[in-house]
Structure 1
Amino acid sequence: MVVTASSPSLPEVSPVASAPNAGAAFAAARRQGTPVEVSDQTTETKRVFAQPDGQLNAELASMPVRVRRGAGWVPVNTTLTKSGSGFVHPQATVDDLSFSAGGDAPLVTFGKGDKTLSLSWPQKLPVPTLDGPTATYHEVFPGVDLVMQAAADGYNERLVVKNATAAKNPALKSIAFKLAAKGVTVSSDQSGRIEAVDAAGNLVFAAPTSTMWDARGPEVASAPVEATVKESTLLLHPAVAMLEDPGTRFPVVIDPDMHSWNQSMWAKVFNPTGSARARRVLPPAPPPRSPTAGRVRR
């Protein structure tokens, strides 16, 4: 009879999906033969995975897809809900964002920490209709809706002029938003681009040049919208010629947006159907500022 000693069985190790750093992730990936996420390299737009063969692979998103919450991450969720404070908030976005729930509250407040800006509509706002990420303030002028849409890194603002009668309203020639800023200086350049910089000169928020288009879409019928900052006011001057043109097809959409700088440098690229996608572009060097350029600082 032959007696042999059996080797003690090793405890089974459950596979892990993530590890706190690259060293731990590589060790786990080699051990289990599958990729392991490197948690300390996760950002709003990036996930990094250690591979069993010793390489690192990254998954990149063109826009923020997750938001830091405490020690972890949650998916971006721009669905709007009303709070008891008189505002409407998205559930999870990169920066703090709130829209008015109606009345005298600022139309939008946007920012993070000690750097914020807000815009107020010149009149009392109606209670908005909420639909996912969109808050619609009906009839802010006769025949004109104001549509605010939460985005992962900012917001989109649309004035929707629904018919030719509404387009004749003199109030559309110059629309004055009350502007308040904290921790940033807001200014506009000759192209209508709006920038908010902090005390160190760092660009924090940016709004691309505003445009407007009719029902045929921006590639077929569009015009620039002049936007200027003067003291504590943001002035929008839609193209009156387009509003009064008998060939214009309604509704007409007037489009100013605002985004965080580190996610805002996207060019709007429209396809033939009029829907939009985004393309990352590098910003040009800012031109010298005119001493008369409008700005507001708080």
Structure 2
Amino acid sequence: MIAALTLSVSLLTAPAIAQGPPPSPPPSAKVARTAAPNPTDVALAKAKEVNERVEVEALRSATATYYANPDGKTLRAELSSVPIRVKTDDGWRPIDLTLVEKDGALRPKTAPGDLVLSRGNDSTVATFSGEKGRMAFASPSTLPKPTVKGNVATYPSAYGPGIDLVVSVMPSGFRHDVVIRQRPTNALELRVPMRLSSGTKLGIGADKTPGLLNATGEEAADLAAAPVIDAAAMRDPDKGNISQAKAKIDGNNVIYTAPATFLNDPTTTYPVTVTTASETWEGTGIAGDTHVSNVLPDGSANATLPWLLAGKSHSGSRTHRTYIMFHISGTPLEGGTVHNADLRLHNQDSHTCSDTDSPGIDLQRVTSPWNTGTISWNNQPSTVLSGHVANRGAYSATRCPEGEGELYYSIELIVQAWMNGTPDLGVRLNSVIEPDSTQNWRYYRSHEYGGYDTYPFTPRGPVLFIQYTPADRPVSAVAWRYTEPEASTYDEIEALANDPARARATQSVGPDPVGPSWEEAQQAKESGSEFDIQDAEQQTPLPHESDPPVEPEPDTTLPTVVETSPARDATGVPIITTIRATFGEAVRGSDIQVKKQDGGAVAGTPVYANRTLTFTPSAPLAADTRYTVEVTKATDYADNVMAPHSWAFTTANASLEGLVAAFGLEEGTGSTVADASGNNNSGVAQSTTW
């Protein structure tokens, strides 16, 4: 007969219990060792004991760090878009891109892959060995000895007088720039010789432009053009000049032509930088982050820049979109439950210092595959609005008194979808009102900027913080015990589970009531797995177990609008205004309609963020007109749908707008106030107190 107890613990305890005479174990049977404690459980217990976060070192990866929270139940994950550490024979080490001389070459101290840079006196600039083989970039002539500073090696005049070759080592590879320090008289041809790995070649891709092709002829990287950026544009996306150097293939060489019209333009500020190669060429680049635009269309070249650009610049004539990817699939996050998820971006620069005078930047989930080697303005992945969120915040190192700073996007719905198995293809950032010619841009630090081991003393690229409860790890187990001695407490069952003369365990329940052999039981116990005990005939909590959790009362309260702007029945509302409805709780699926007094709908853009639904009209409202606003379909996360909420307001009379009179209030006595406008108006103050 089997008598079962319900128990959810590790293999330290015995599961379902059977009675019967104990068989004699074979002489070779050994006492089953106790299963190794789970590192996450150990960290959670420690965090609760010391009341502070404790890292779960066993979960470390190249891009992620996990912590046990002091509540003893939840975890915190910190994800970077590219590697922040490297696995070595001595364990994980933080990336250190400082270039040092080693074995007759320049190498970064600690970096992914095997990157070697020239010390001069040869023509091989950089050699990279990775999963796809060995690849090298060369120069058209013998290189001089480089000047090395940190992660940057500069080869002076490698492309001619005043034209340097600059190689910067990045967390995911490197960037190969030709820096033109003085104004040339003609167009420049910049030749980049390549030594390709097996199975790759230079050629013309399906888009009829130069590219790096794989063994089947598919384009692995787009080499159609290189960005040409002057010094002013490098500092400020709203200034300076930007162009492209068109490419052509000549054997194993890519030749870029920097246009003479750009180079000779008197408004072009020198030095001018041409990014002629990067790690994305040979396929070792990681799809961490990049941006594309209608003036800088090449995502592979932009992926190596130390900044990301999103929004509208140059009075709205230039449109920029940023793409960022984080890896959720195949990590401990899979199957977990999100409590909070924040994407942190370090805002280096912006066109504004205010969070009220621009539409802000919207974030959307990407729904089709992309990588930094092939993404471009004309080849962008799709996105979906579900879970999107906008942020009006803005910082600037040069324009704002508070300097640069951090902006956060709360993306719980997006991250939960990824953890539930939706493909983790990243997010896109773009202007909230992209079709409009509205000045609205943000410069963010990209993953290339670095600062991983010195944060918060230096800025850092995109980081995703996730507070979550990990998924259950159910594995069934069965153990048999016999008549003597009786076992009913936690300690007695633990002792029983570790006595092979009385109990056996397995990871599956088979039809044979005799159960597994002693060898199978031993192997199951030594596997170190965690076990959930299967419920059989009864549920009898052991003395050490707490009472079962009480199910919360279902949420049946409908969401409501708690605040509106303009207020209900407000008058004199400016014709240029935004309309807001603030909810008492987080909602989804809300809709807003604004109508004139004749019933005609007002065109505009709705954006939901931080419990507030904002409607920005596409054009100024009509003066002296009553408008009606109706908010519908708002649904909370218990699936309660709000009742429609409506209110009205009236815009100001255009003839009354502007300064009529300015009264000075410094007299200190009486109720008559003087006119300071020069129009000989007078005023009377009521209920005056001086």
TM-score range, shorter chain: 0.7 to 0.9
Instruction: Please tell me whether residue 215 in structure 1 is matched to residue 231 in structure 2.
Output: yes
- The question of 1:153 aligning with 2:172 is answered yes
Question: Matched residues in 1 for 2:288 and 2:214: separation?
Answer: 14
Deviation at 1:132, TM superposition (A): 0.8
1:182 pairs, out of 197, 222, 240, with 197
- The aligned amino acid for 1:145 is D
Structure 2 partner of 1:261: 285
Of 248, 261, 265, which residue of structure 2 is paired with 1:241?
261
CA distance in 1, matches of 2:265, 2:112: 40
- Counterpart CA distance in 2 for 1:193 and 1:46 is 36
Bigger radius of gyration among the two = 2
CA-to-aligned-CA distance 1:161-209 (integer Å, 9 cap, x gap)? 1112xx2366x2x22222112245255655978557578x896x88895
2:307 corresponds in structure 1 to: 277
User: 2:125: which partner in 1?
Assistant: 107
- Report deviation, 1:130: 0.6
Q: Distance in 2 between matches of 1:233 and 1:153?
A: 24
Alignment partner of 2:164: what SS?
A: strand
Q: Root-mean-square deviation (CA), in Å?
A: 3.5
In structure 2, which of residues 78, 81, 84 is the aligned counterpart of residue 65 of structure 1? 84
Distance 2:291 2:229 in 1: 16
- Which residue is equivalent to 1:292? none
Residue 143 of structure 2 corresponds to residue 125 of structure 1: yes
Counterpart of 1:251?
Answer: 271
Distance in 2 (alpha carbons) for counterparts of 1:42 and 1:202:
34
Change (3 A) 1:198 1:175: same
The correspondence for 1:226, drawn from 246, 249, 256, is 246
- Does 1:82 pair with 2:95? no
**1:137 has 2:161 as partner:** no
Worse-superposed segment, 95-104 or 211-220: 211-220
Task: State the distance in 1 between where 2:51 and 2:97 align.
Answer: 37
Q: 1:46 to 1:284 in 2, by over 3 A?
A: closer
Looking at structure 2, the residues matched to 24 and 94 of structure 1 have their Cα atoms a distance apart, in angstroms, of 31
Secondary structure of 2:72's counterpart equals coil
Between the aligned residues of both structures, percent identity stands at 23
Structure 2: how far apart are the matches of 1:43 and 1:209?
35
Distance 2:77 2:231 in 1: 41
Q: What's the CA shift for 1:153? A: 0.7
Q: Please, what TM-score do these two structures have when normalized by structure 1?
A: 0.73
Alpha carbons 2:100, 2:106 under 8 Å: kept = yes
- Could you tell me the TM-score, scaled by structure 2's length? 0.34
Deviation, 1:148, is 0.9
Contact 1:116 1:184 in 2 (8 A): no
**CA drift at 1:65:** 1.9
Gaps of 5+ in 2: 1-36, 294-304, 309-321, 325-365, 376-690
Partners of 1:72 and 1:37 lie apart in 2 by 15
**Inter-partner Cα distance in structure 2 for 1:56 and 1:127:** 50
The one-letter amino acid paired with 1:262 is I
Distance in 1 (alpha carbons) for counterparts of 2:66 and 2:101: 36
CA shift for structure 1 position 243: 1.6
Q: Partners in 1 of 2:253 and 2:38 — Cα distance?
A: 47
Write the deviation string for residues 232-290 of structure 1: whole angstroms up to 9, x where unpaired.
22222222321233432222111134233324542279xxxxx9413544664869xxx
Q: Which 4+ stretches in 1 moved above 6 angstroms?
A: 205-208
Helix, strand or coil at the partner of 1:217:
helix
1: CA distance, partners of 2:224 / 2:51 = 47
Where in structure 1 are there 5+ consecutive unaligned residues? 1-18, 270-274, 288-298
Distance verdict in 2 for CA 1:20–1:194, change over 3 Å: farther
Q: 1:156 to 1:54 in 2, by over 3 A?
A: same
Alignment length, in residue pairs? 259
Q: Structure 2: how far apart are the matches of 1:261 and 1:25?
A: 34
**Distance in 2 separating the partners of 1:231 and 1:100:** 23
Check conservation: 2:211, 2:224, Cα contact below 8 A. Answer: yes
